[in-house]
Amino acid sequence: MAVSPLDLRYKNEMNAIFDEENTLAKWLMIEAALAKAQARVGRIPRSAAKEIEGKANTKHVSLSRVKEIEREIDHDLMAMVKALSEQCSIEAAKYVHLGATSYDIEDTAHALILRDAMRIIERKLKHLKQILLVLAEENKLRVCIGRTHGQHAVPTTYGMKFALYASEVERQEERLKQAGKRMFVGKMSGAVGTMSTFGKEGLRIQEYVMRELDIVPALVTNQVVQRDRHAEVMFVLSLIGCTLEKIAKEIRNLQRTEIMEVAEPFGRKQVGSSTMPHKRNPHRCERVCSLARLLRSNVSVALDNIALEHERDLTNSANERFIIPESFIVTNFIMNEMIDILVGLEFFPDNIRKNLELSKGQIMAERLMILLTRKGMSRQEAHELLRNASIKAFKEGKHLKEALGENKDVIKYLTERELDNAFDPDTYIGEAVEIVEKAIREMKRR
């Protein structure tokens, strides 16, 4: 019976990248590439390399047999070596894994596995960005209240929100690509990285193996590829999680009963609460926020793995079996969640308009301050006037326009029509539309 929610609730297409069958296939692929490279430099017979290459796959080397051997010898990589050797003739078996250490195979396999995993994440980021750009375009004229410190500020647009998120997703795309350049490296350098078992052909063997696998050789290693590379990838995944959490948290807050401007999709038969039939909880957004915390916690472990002792120790090995698959599976899951949420996002225009008017005009105080300044009043005087008028209007439950209409200094500078026009939030969004359109154009070009 499965215990981890990664195999149940949060299972997705990323699981197949990290399952044992795929890991074994990658190990065997590298063993085949090693034999081929050694034959190429004349260290083993070509016939042996050809036989190893033909048998180094999961059709011949079963996971069940590898597991059986592992139970006997308590070494997973060596269990694979023995299982592969069993499938080869006595002559070819002599050359299986010749000169390599376990992490020549395991760390090079890591690069191949993470390359496939990161390609999935990259595709999802591109898809997510496109959805956000569509939402930005569709909502570039949808005026809403902006909030700072949880308080009503001045008007903005939903197009601005979505364009902002799209630009952040694009930066995560760039970070993932940059991390990939440093992560997609392998090694074939032996026990402490000196290539002593390969003699003078070590650099050539490593180059041929990596070329066969379409990755680059690490410039210098000890027994392992250095874990700063892995930590960087984990950090990028956590950053992606933070971006998704930012979007999810905004939706959650905007879905509060008192605000209710937008809401995540709610199925026709969906249940919000086991006891309160009316509930429409933003549980998917809450799930995104929850799992983003898990991604951040895994970064701490990945950072600890960088400082291995001497030429290596095993303190990274056990935890990486958890944190790396977990972080990729969770990142992919919450990206799938956010894509679905945004595609089905529901808007409530009446509430958006109601919230614009909730402060009884006080959100336009900044505009009036600027307008009075243009008419000749000093900026500081105008600020103080609007501050006092806002306080008075709030205490007396009046609209700010009414409070200002009673002020002789305001009447001296502004006509009644100018005062009326100043309280239209739809005309106080600055360059918001142009900013959104420019962002969409530039991101679509890239």
- List the CATH number of the domain containing 67: 1.10.275.10
- Residue 281 domain-assigned (yes or no): no
Examine the domain organization and report whether 252 and 213 are in the same domain. yes
Examine the domain organization and report whether 255 and 116 are in the same domain. yes
Give the 3-state secondary structure of residue 185.
strand
pLDDT of residue 269: 84
Distance CA 140, CA 163 (A): 9
Distance CA 125, CA 135 (A): 15
- Residue 274 domain-assigned (yes or no): no
Residue 352 CA neighbour count, 13 Å, CB half: 19
User: With the CA atoms of 122, 138, 434 and 442 taken in that order, what torsion angle do they form, in degrees rounded to the nearest 10?
Assistant: 20
Examine the domain organization and report whether 355 and 367 are in the same domain. no
Low-confidence stretches of the chain (pLDDT beneath 70): 1
pLDDT of residue 178: 97
Distance CA 188, CA 223 (A): 9
Examine the domain organization and report whether 262 and 399 are in the same domain. no
Examine the domain organization and report whether 66 and 90 are in the same domain. yes
Distances (CA, A) of 229 to 152, 186, 203, 313: 43, 12, 22, 17
Examine the domain organization and report whether 314 and 343 are in the same domain. yes
Number of domains in the chain: 3
Which pair of structure tokens corresponds to residue 400? 């700010």
Q: Which of 66, 98, 130 is the last residue of a domain?
A: 98
Examine the domain organization and report whether 27 and 50 are in the same domain. yes
**Judging by beta carbons within 10 Å of its beta carbon (0-12, 13-18, 19+), is residue 292 exposed, middle or buried?**
buried
**CATH number of the domain that 205 lies in?**
1.20.200.10
pLDDT of residue 273: 76
Q: Which of 35, 67, 98 is the last residue of a domain?
A: 98
Domain of 29 in residue numbering reads as: 14-98
Distances (CA, A) of 303 to 8, 115, 445: 28, 20, 36
Strand pairing of 216-217 and 185-186?
parallel
What is the model's pTM?
0.94
Q: So which residues are the catalytic ones?
A: 149, 273
Q: Which residues of 108-147 are buried (b: 16+ CB within 10 A; e: fewer)?
A: bbbbbbbbebbebbeebbeebbebbbebbeebbebbbbbb
- Residue 200 domain-assigned (yes or no): yes
**CATH number of the domain that 370 lies in?**
1.10.40.30
| Residue 230 near residue 59 (C-beta atoms within 8 A) | no
Examine the domain organization and report whether 87 and 126 are in the same domain. no
- Residue 263 domain-assigned (yes or no): yes
Residues near 226 by beta carbon (within 8 Å), at least 6 away in sequence: 218, 306
Give the 3-state secondary structure of residue 305.
coil
Amino acid at 338: M
- Residue 350 domain-assigned (yes or no): yes
- Residue 284 domain-assigned (yes or no): no
Residue located via tokens 């935890």: 319
Examine the domain organization and report whether 411 and 297 are in the same domain. no
Examine the domain organization and report whether 207 and 344 are in the same domain. yes
Q: Which of 40, 67, 98 is the last residue of a domain?
A: 98
Nearest residue to 41 via CA among 192, 195, 202: 202
